[in-house]
Amino acid sequence: MATRTQKFKAFVSEPMGDKDVTAVDGINDELGLKLAAKGFDKAYILLGQFLLLKKDHAVFQRWLKGAYGASPSQAQRCASCLMDWCYAFL
């Protein structure tokens, strides 16, 4: 089982509201800037992309790595964070 960071735990513990995309585990400031430049400035917008990709971890991770240069670790952490948030709130 993957280690859950404090950032991960904080994100999945409450509704996301209007949180910035960098609140999602795996999204650091640098990756957040790349995402925001293409319109993914809020966590709920990134969640929308995750849902459009049918919550498919592999497809979402490939998209995040290919389109924005996320590392494999960043992509995995982000997908897991969004999936766990979905389990808790959808």
DSSP state of 53: T
Q: What is the CATH number of the domain that holds 30?
A: 1.10.150.40
What average pLDDT score do residues 36-41 get? 98
Q: Is residue 1 part of a domain?
A: no
Quick one: pLDDT at residue 1? 46
Q: Report the distance separating Cα 79 and Cα 19, nearest Å.
A: 17
Q: Is residue 76 part of a domain?
A: yes
Please indicate, yes or no, whether the overall pTM of this predicted structure exceeds 0.85.
Answer: yes
What average pLDDT score do residues 46-67 get? 98
Number of domains forming the structure of the chain: 1
Domain holding 10, by residue range, is 6-89
